[in-house]
């Protein structure tokens, strides 16, 4: 059960970051491109391991 919660938390972080980036694009907030760039870098640096 603990592994499920850890995996859910690990998956929810990139999803929420992309959701927030989409909200910034929708609101046409200045700097949304830099935020999206940072989200792509953070998401790309996540290492997935399945045992």
CA distance 14 to 31: 19
Residues 5-22, mean pLDDT to the nearest whole number: 91
Tens of pLDDT, residue by residue over 32-48, are 999 999 999 988 888 87
Q: Which segments of 1-51 does DSSP mark as H helices, in order?
A: 2-27, 32-44
Q: Is the pLDDT of residue 30 over 80?
A: yes
| Two structure tokens written together for 34 | 């830099």
Q: Is the pLDDT of residue 51 over 80?
A: no
- How far, in Å, are 12, 16, 25 from residue 33 at the CA level? 21, 16, 8
CA distance 22 to 51: 33
Q: Residue 16 — pLDDT band, cuts 50, 70, 90?
A: very high
């Amino acid at each position: 059960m603990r592994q499920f919660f850890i995996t859910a938390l690990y998956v929810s972080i990139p999803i929420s970051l992309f959701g927030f980036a989409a909200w910034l694009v929708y609101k046409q907030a200045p700097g949304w491109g830099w935020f999206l760039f940072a989200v792509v870098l953070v998401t790309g640096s996540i290492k997935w391991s399945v045992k």
